Amino acid sequence: MIAIAVDKTTVPLVKGLSSLEHVQSLLVSSRTNKKSKLSQKAHLSLLRELCVFVSMVGSAASVDKTMFALLVKDLSDSSISDKLFRTILFLLVEVATQHRAKGPHWLHQLKDPLEELRRFLAKEVSSAKADSKQLLLLRSLYAVERFTPPSSGPLLAPDDALLRTLVALKYPSSVKPKRSMSVLFMSGFSDKESHQQQLSFWSAVMSAVSRTGRGIPATSCWDNVVAPLKHRDYSPLIQHSLRVLLHMVRTSDEKDLQSRVSALLTQSYAVCDDSVSCSYFICIVSALAMRTIPASPGCLGMDELLSLFRIATHKFLSVNDNLSQPTSSSPKAAAEMIIALVGCTYSAELMAKLQLKTILPSVATSLVFHLRSVTVDSVELSPLLRATRALGKFLLRRY
């Protein structure tokens, strides 16, 4: 929903739009008074008007929590239409997001209906087929779980609908069968689904997993987490996979997981050209170093870590014995790689192991090259300046 540049005083001037208080009053009375029950068409019209108010910055705080609770109950109505379902879900997530941005006190006002919404979504996801409705449910579920941390523990439980969906995924073939019937807002995901639709659904699942804040068991999910990297069909899916890998590295103590991740990153298919994938790659390398120096459970061996950093510096800084000018990586990737080398708590020990005097000139050469290649108004200038600051601080500490 695009934010509307209007406020409470100008909204009534918008043609056909009532006041926020009037819209809420009609919606509440339609749910609490049988004589005031609205038709589905009238109900949808009021919800769309409410979307306008919610989309305005800060106006969600004016939405009555009773109204929020009633919208949650509306979702449990089995006769609700697809359009009503989508619109209510949008409103619930948008209002909760804006309340969260205002602070814990604001979000606490919605605690009970949010818990009810999370339970509803978890139940619906577990019973829904692999179609676009489940896609919508998954995206809404991970958004709500950020507001209501589940009590089931740090890992996705074996019976969790999201985990079951992830484990059951099968990477689609490149064959494009006949398109299936429409479900909700896009073509459905049946046995006759198209290749792109399957990739979109897989991406939605991985996006949900990466945002739940809970770890996943690598033993049962590894193949499906890394499959998108091997096929390289869809950039958003690759990005979500790398994000899940990053979360696994940071949270899991499973034996040999770090070595498996390190071995994966040495493969050519693990890095794509887009800047988001490069950023996640570098974050994973840095997370591995944070576990290794100092050592923590399930950490990588020092030799494996050094080998991985040599590969990463070559990929993102073009560091080699000839100090050639780096031309293969983006300024942003180069900046983030420099920060990973010299701007972290492990940097001194790592750089000593990597033979400091040999690698520092190459790092400086890469930084100067990229600084000279960007303009003052470039969005890539900021990370390069942060990398410059990190390198300067590191040199002051060392010399």
The tokens describing 79, both together, are 């006769």
104 and 142, same domain (yes or no): no
Give exposure, 9-42, as e/b (b: 16+ Cβ within 10 Å): eebeeeeebbebeebbebbeebbeeeeeeeeeee
15 and 65, same domain (yes or no): yes
C-alpha to C-alpha distance for 206 and 341, rounded to whole angstroms: 29
Q: Is residue 269, in this structure, part of any structural domain at all?
A: no
pLDDT at residue 58, rounded to an integer: 56
pLDDT at residue 398, rounded to an integer: 77
The tokens describing 143, both together, are 């958004």
Q: Is residue 85, in this structure, part of any structural domain at all?
A: yes
140 and 101, same domain (yes or no): no
How many structural domains comprise the chain? 2
105 and 130, same domain (yes or no): no
Q: Which residues of the chain have pLDDT under 70?
A: 1-18, 56-62, 78, 126, 128-132, 148-155, 157-159, 173-193, 213, 319-328, 399
Q: Is residue 43, in this structure, part of any structural domain at all?
A: yes
pLDDT at residue 302, rounded to an integer: 93
pLDDT at residue 187, rounded to an integer: 42
The tokens describing 73, both together, are 């109950």
pLDDT at residue 135, rounded to an integer: 72
pLDDT at residue 158, rounded to an integer: 62
Q: Is 3 exposed, middle or buried (0-12, 13-18, 19+ CB in 10 A)?
A: exposed
Q: Is residue 134, in this structure, part of any structural domain at all?
A: yes
Residue 200, domain extent = 126-147+158-173+184-214
Nearest to 263 by CA among 229, 297, 216, 217: 229
C-alpha to C-alpha distance for 140 and 136, rounded to whole angstroms: 6
C-alpha to C-alpha distance for 56 and 52, rounded to whole angstroms: 7
41 and 83, same domain (yes or no): yes
The one-letter code for the residue type at 15 is K
Cβ proximity of 333 and 387 under 8 Å: no
